Chains A and B, each alone.
Chain A
Amino acid sequence: MKKLTGLAALATAAALALSGCGGSDKPDGSSGKDAGDKELTLWLAGNDTNDDLRKYLKDEFSKQNQGWTLKIETIDWGDLVTKLNTSLPDAKNSPDVVEVGNTQSPTFTNVGAFMDITDMYKELGGDDLLQSFVEVGAVDGKNYTLPYYFGSRYMFYRTDVWQEAGVTVPKTLDEFNNAVITITDKNPRGIKDFSGFFLGGSDWRNGVSWVFANGGDLAKKDGDQWVSTLSDPNTVKGMKQLQELQQKASKAPADAKDQSPWLYINDTDEASEENSQTTNTALAAATIMAPGWAHWSIGDPTIGADGQPARNDGGVIIREWNPAKFGVFVLPGNDGKPAPVFAGGSNIGISAKSQHPEQAKSLMKIIFSEEYQKMLGGAGLGPANSQYVSSLGDDEFAKALVDSALNSKLTPAAPGWAKVEAAGLLDEFFGKVAQGGDVAKLAKEFDDKITPVLNNG
């Protein structure tokens, strides 16, 4: 009896313990459709596609498909891989058309999650489409996902602080490295913990430019196997430069990722303004590297009718770009041309389990139409079709975006790449280098960790 009650108690304890690992049945991102419901589901990642673009897609889709409506669901970037994992294989819950990060695309195209749309390739833009993105969406010469939009990264800098430190816009990578170290040393405004160049230690998406600029890469295909190439001499050289910058120019924590670096380049930030003490304490960096759309978050606060900083619906202060203080330039490479940057952006494709392939293809045609591509450019997103790049405009941001994108690179098209990212292996490698670790030793250690994941589809 005693033993039996003991077992019963243990079983209950076990049930409690297991329920943590068991799980709920219903994926929360489901788009449950009833039979006969004439609705097509489109998943968009994040809020980069603005409301005007969404409205256009919905209206145009209903116009071209009598009796059909388009349902757009927004998935957070952070949840995207998980939700694709659970929903794409399930015909009942699969969205029909899906936006997927360009680096995540190979993982899913390699397991057959997307429909073969090779027959539409020409019609949707063909060789005018951004080829590096087309490649990550293709397997064995067949097209599964196509570019949706591209973004790029460039430098935002404080023209006033650079001038006070007596440095000018650099022409080569070495000049850049020296300039930001000089600014840090001179610290013209005497700000505590001031960074000439603020770069999160674990921010590999921006930091990888130093690897690319020195001729290194993250991985390469050797025969039919992918190999991590962190130990490659060129990669090590780039990482050593980065390490020097981290030690001498950046005061960012070694574990910081690429979240909101613009906080450090503005004179004031939210925290100080909320206490209505608009001081200069927030300024902590003379230079940052960020995706092009960061310029909406950089500038001086606009003052509303009540004399307080004006805020948007989300409560975020609306900023106005001030050319007297801020400027942009493209990170130069060693040859004076733009250094290769890691391209941002995403791909789009039709789920292999879509129940409405006809309508899904119709939506793809709308997305790749001249009108929508130009709308993308108007919204500051690089259009997939290079014929319409001029729609980005010709201001300094558009120029920097196009110049840096011309020499942009993508992450390796290895089947396991999304897993390398999800496991945080590169964040950790870059972070440990930023801490001041032995680059060659760390490179070897992470090569050994990353190579098996690359090939494991």
Chain B
Amino acid sequence: MTSHSPEAGQSGKTSAAGTSRLAAPDAAGSSDAQGNGASAVRLRKRAGRTGRAHRSGRGRTFRWTPYLLIAPAVGILLLALAYPIGWQLVTSFKEFGLAQQFGQPAEFNGLDNYIKIVTTGETWMVVVRSVVFCLVNAFLTVAAGTALATLMNAVPKAVRLILQVALLLAWSMPVVAVMTVWNWLFDWNHGTINWLLVQAGAEGYSRHNWLENPLSFYGVATVIIVWMSVPFVAFSMYAALTQVSGEVLEAAQIDGANAWQRFKGIVVPMVRPVLMIVLLLQIIWDLRVFTQIRMLQDRGSFPSETDLLGTYIYREGVGASHFGMAAAMSVFVLLITMVAAWPYVRSLMKEETI
């Protein structure tokens, strides 16, 4: 039981990127299939119909099949998620450090961990930094992804294929490999970026250290994260764009709408549901970003100036062995994520019920 605690903190290291990337193909698939959310509506209608049939028909036999079919999925979900999350919730109310990990009884300390979190100035600094970083990254990614999708929609097939292969390669690269390459590119001593800048005449960039200044650090992190996430947005948006009917656009063109007006007035409203889902996912992922920041920190910068929520929890949990505090911190991040996501989820629901 106790052996799980550091993993709880550490897992961020692997699964922050791991899960988001794992979840991606699914999400891509479903938003693909949904197109403009129509299939979800269809599903719900069908469900309603079955319900009515059940009530009005000869409802003698209870239908076990659907429940049997979803049982394994629910079981796995419970095993894989409920136990660790439950453990995490319980731990967040305990004084749990290294001594407890080695067998001392862990005592409940009520809301102490949470009170410490909300009364520490550094926490709020990290929260503000994370939220700003996440919004900037999410919007940049979605903007760049949408632009690429529009491009893919407009270019001949051969060019599109090249673009898609390039995006897929970027998407399928393991994060550690990606970070190693980017770290080399931005290396202060041998980095290609510095070399190019010097070749271009910017002598001051010889041995320029990109990571020491926090703002510059976040700039580098943004370039890397946007680069890594754009393919997902581009593919999702491209799938959505292919669903926009050509006739409508043609009609608008005949009516004298220019390209920008058609994009703004017709294309965007039609792909809006996908756009919203993609943006929501990006916001959630970018709020939990861990691997990229951690690996940049290994390379340089002062952690206390560049920590985001993920690395802050990791340092607290694994670094300082305050597992109770780290658990509470994680729950706190979950609450922030839910608050941040709520308006989007609501508006998504609205779109779907129309």
CB atoms of A193 and B207 under 8 A apart:
yes
B7 close to A (CB within 8 Å): yes
A21 and B349 contact, Cβ closer than 8 Å, known pairs A13-B341, A89-B101, A251-B207? no
Give residues of chain A (270-285) contacting chain B, Cβ–Cβ below 8 Å: 271, 284
Q: Which residues of B contact A122 (CB under 8 A)?
A: none
> B333-354: contact bitstring with A at CB < 8 Å (1 yes, 0 no)?
1100110011001101100110
Give residues of chain B (265-304) contacting chain A, Cβ–Cβ below 8 Å: 280, 284, 287-288, 290, 300-304
Give residues of chain A (1-30) contacting chain B, Cβ–Cβ below 8 Å: 2, 5-6, 9-10, 13-25, 27
Measured CB to CB, the nearest residue on chain A to B315 is A423
Contact of B304 among A13, A25, A428 (CB under 8 A): A428
A113 close to B (CB within 8 Å): yes
Stretch at the interface among B10-18, B107-115, B163-171: B10-18
Centre residue among A22, A24, A86 by max chain B CB count within 10 A? A22
Q: Which residues of A contact B189 (CB under 8 A)?
A: 263, 284
CB atoms of A255 and B280 under 8 A apart:
no
A419 close to B (CB within 8 Å): yes
CB atoms of A21 and B88 under 8 A apart:
yes
Q: Which residues of A contact B260 (CB under 8 A)?
A: none
B6 close to A (CB within 8 Å): yes
CB atoms of A27 and B7 under 8 A apart:
yes
CB atoms of A10 and B209 under 8 A apart:
no
A189 close to B (CB within 8 Å): no
Give residues of chain B (10-31) contacting chain A, Cβ–Cβ below 8 Å: 10-12, 14-16, 19-20, 23
Give residues of chain A (226-278) contacting chain B, Cβ–Cβ below 8 Å: 251, 253-256, 263, 271
Q: Is the interface of B mostly helix, strand, loop or mixed?
A: helix
CB atoms of A423 and B320 under 8 A apart:
yes
CB atoms of B212 and A85 under 8 A apart:
no
Kindly state the separation between the CA atoms of A212 and B313 in the bound complex, as whole angstroms: 33
CB atoms of A85 and B98 under 8 A apart:
yes
Q: Which residues of B contact A254 (CB under 8 A)?
A: 209, 212
Interface size on B, residues (CB 8 A): 67
Centre residue among A19, A27, A113 by max chain B CB count within 10 A? A19
B211 close to A (CB within 8 Å): yes
A199 close to B (CB within 8 Å): no
Kindly state the separation between the CA atoms of A422 and B3 in the bound complex, as whole angstroms: 19
Measured CB to CB, the nearest residue on chain A to B310 is A20
Kindly state the separation between the CA atoms of A309 and B9 in the bound complex, as whole angstroms: 44
Give residues of chain A (73-98) contacting chain B, Cβ–Cβ below 8 Å: 81-82, 85-90, 93
- Shortest CB distance A251–B (Å): 7
Q: Which residues of B contact A82 (CB under 8 A)?
A: 6, 10, 318
> A102-116: contact bitstring with B at CB < 8 Å (1 yes, 0 no)?
000001000111000
Contact of B342 among A10, A22, A112 (CB under 8 A): A10
B319 close to A (CB within 8 Å): yes
CB atoms of A19 and B19 under 8 A apart:
yes
CB atoms of A22 and B3 under 8 A apart:
no
Give residues of chain B (34-71) contacting chain A, Cβ–Cβ below 8 Å: none
CB atoms of B320 and A453 under 8 A apart:
yes
Kindly state the separation between the CA atoms of A405 and B346 in the bound complex, as whole angstroms: 66
CB atoms of A255 and B15 under 8 A apart:
no
CB atoms of B102 and A6 under 8 A apart:
no
- Shortest CB distance B190–A (Å): 5
- Shortest CB distance A454–B (Å): 12
A424 close to B (CB within 8 Å): yes
Q: Which residues of A contact B190 (CB under 8 A)?
A: 271
Measured CB to CB, the nearest residue on chain B to A263 is B189
CB atoms of A89 and B8 under 8 A apart:
no
Measured CB to CB, the nearest residue on chain B to A19 is B19
Measured CB to CB, the nearest residue on chain A to B301 is A255
Measured CB to CB, the nearest residue on chain B to A90 is B3
- Shortest CB distance A29–B (Å): 11
Q: Which residues of A contact B349 (CB under 8 A)?
A: 2, 5-6, 9
- Shortest CB distance A282–B (Å): 9
Q: Which residues of B contact A85 (CB under 8 A)?
A: 6, 98, 101, 318, 321
CB atoms of A255 and B212 under 8 A apart:
yes
A255 and B211 contact, Cβ closer than 8 Å, known pairs A10-B342, A16-B19? yes
CB atoms of B98 and A457 under 8 A apart:
yes
CB atoms of A23 and B10 under 8 A apart:
yes
A432 close to B (CB within 8 Å): yes
B81 close to A (CB within 8 Å): yes
Contact of B12 among A20, A111, A423, A428 (CB under 8 A): A20
A89 and B333 contact, Cβ closer than 8 Å, known pairs A20-B16, A253-B188? no
Kindly state the separation between the CA atoms of A86 and B12 in the bound complex, as whole angstroms: 16
- Shortest CB distance A329–B (Å): 26
Q: Which residues of A contact B353 (CB under 8 A)?
A: 2
CB atoms of B346 and A24 under 8 A apart:
no
A225 close to B (CB within 8 Å): no
A431 close to B (CB within 8 Å): yes
Contact of A21 among B8, B101, B318, B348 (CB under 8 A): B8
CB atoms of A111 and B99 under 8 A apart:
yes
CB atoms of A24 and B103 under 8 A apart:
no
Top 6 A-B pairs, shortest CB-CB distance: A23-B11, A21-B330, A22-B84, A422-B319, A253-B209, A23-B7
- List 5 A-B pairs, Cβ < 8 Å: A17-B333, A111-B98, A111-B101, A254-B209, A255-B211
Q: Report B's interface with A, CB cutoff 8 A.
A: 2-4, 6-12, 14-16, 19-20, 23, 77, 81, 84-85, 88, 97-99, 101-104, 188-190, 206-207, 209, 211-212, 280, 284, 287-288, 290, 300-304, 310, 313, 315, 318-321, 330-331, 333-334, 337-338, 341-342, 345-346, 348-349, 352-353
